[in-house]
Amino acid sequence: MNNNRKKIIAGNWKMNLTLAEGITLANGIKKCITNETTQTALKNRNTEIIIAPNHLALTEVVKTTNTSSIQVAAQNVYFEPNGAYTGEVSVTMLKDIKVMHSIIGHSERRTLLGESDEQINKKLLCLIKAGMTPIFCIGETLAEREANKWTAVIRKQLELGLKDLAVEDVPKVIIAYEPVWAIGTGVSASPEQAQEVHAFIRKELHLNYGGSVGDETSILYGGSVNAKNATELFCEIDIDGALVGGASLKIDDFYTIIEAMLKQK
Ligand code: PGA
């Protein structure tokens, strides 16, 4: 890990948990981190904890985590401020309930719900304009990796997703590298595989935006991160944390992943 960049452990709850279950989980995480030792470690390590419940649970989870150092994120957002967009939620609505982060471009939305790079880019620009933080997901499929095409895929997703973003706004984006073949499969990328892609993303940012943008941007790894493999992933110099799915639904596992980050040298 690199000590200069912000570290992030984010839990993507996906379409799981009732409202009551979500509140219990948020309370459990809050309890685990509300002690002086953990609070000091989070501060010293410049580490942020983010949880992303479903839209219906956002308001209550924000209330539950209030005053703790947990940020609450939406799992998706629409790029128009309001209007006839049935089923969608805007940045204005999220800000109104004090939600300042949103995941965008998750591979489940790209593949199951047909979200395009163009739509993801509009969402990203809209979040930045609203002063919010996008957690922008990218990643290749197994077929693309096996055909040795991952560099081209990642380059294109970065180029299209970050299109028209001002250079100074790039480090405001949290990038999450999530190889599709590792999501929910129990087969994580190896630390070396993840590191290779993270270094590539950083280099692309450097080439496209120059200066220190590549060094300043936090890049998370996601895809079957769990209590056992978190430490070795976080040892890698370009991995700044994790976007955790399944393991973020269990308090003990999620807290162990947080601890794995806080114990890094
Ligand atoms: P997983 O999901 O940890 O269950 O693989 C990660 C994600 O989709 O963000």
Question: pLDDT category, 8, cuts 50, 70, 90?
Answer: very high
- Atom number, ligand 1, closest to the C-alpha of residue 223: 5
Its sign, for the CA torsion 9, 13, 19, 24, is: negative
pLDDT at residue 66, as a whole number: 86
User: Is the CB of residue 210 below 6 angstroms from any atom belonging to ligand 1?
Assistant: no
User: Is the CB of residue 220 below 6 angstroms from any atom belonging to ligand 1?
Assistant: no
Q: What is the pLDDT of residues 63-114, one digit of tens each?
A: 999 877 899 999 999 999 999 999 999 999 999 999 999 999 999 999 999 9
- Give the Å distance between the CA of 249 and the centre of ligand 1: 11
C-alpha distances out from residue 70 to 27, 45, 220, 228, 250, Å: 10, 15, 17, 23, 16
User: Is the CB of residue 253 below 6 angstroms from any atom belonging to ligand 1?
Assistant: no
Point out the catalytic residue in the list 101, 178, 198, 236: 178
Q: What is the pLDDT of residues 155-191, one digit of tens each?
A: 999 999 999 999 999 999 999 999 999 999 999 999 9
Is-contact 90 77, C-beta < 8 A? yes
Q: Is the pLDDT of residue 24 over 80?
A: yes
CA distance 97 to 135: 18
Q: Does residue 216 have an active-site annotation?
A: no
Is-contact 42 49, C-beta < 8 A? yes
Output the six-digit token pair for 157.
């997703």
Q: Whose CA is nearest to atom 2 of ligand 1?
A: 245
- Atom number, ligand 1, closest to the C-alpha of residue 225: 3
Q: Is the pLDDT of residue 3 over 90?
A: no
CA distance 47 to 161: 25
For residues 13-32, give the mean pLDDT: 97
User: Is the CB of residue 225 below 6 angstroms from any atom belonging to ligand 1?
Assistant: yes
List of E strands, the chain: 7-12, 47-52, 70-74, 101-104, 133-138, 174-177, 219-222, 241-244
pLDDT at residue 192, as a whole number: 98
- Give the Å distance between the CA of 242 and the centre of ligand 1: 9
Which residues make Cβ contacts (< 8 Å) with residue 190, sequence separation at least 6? Answer: none
CA distance 29 to 38: 12
Q: Is the pLDDT of residue 2 over 80?
A: no
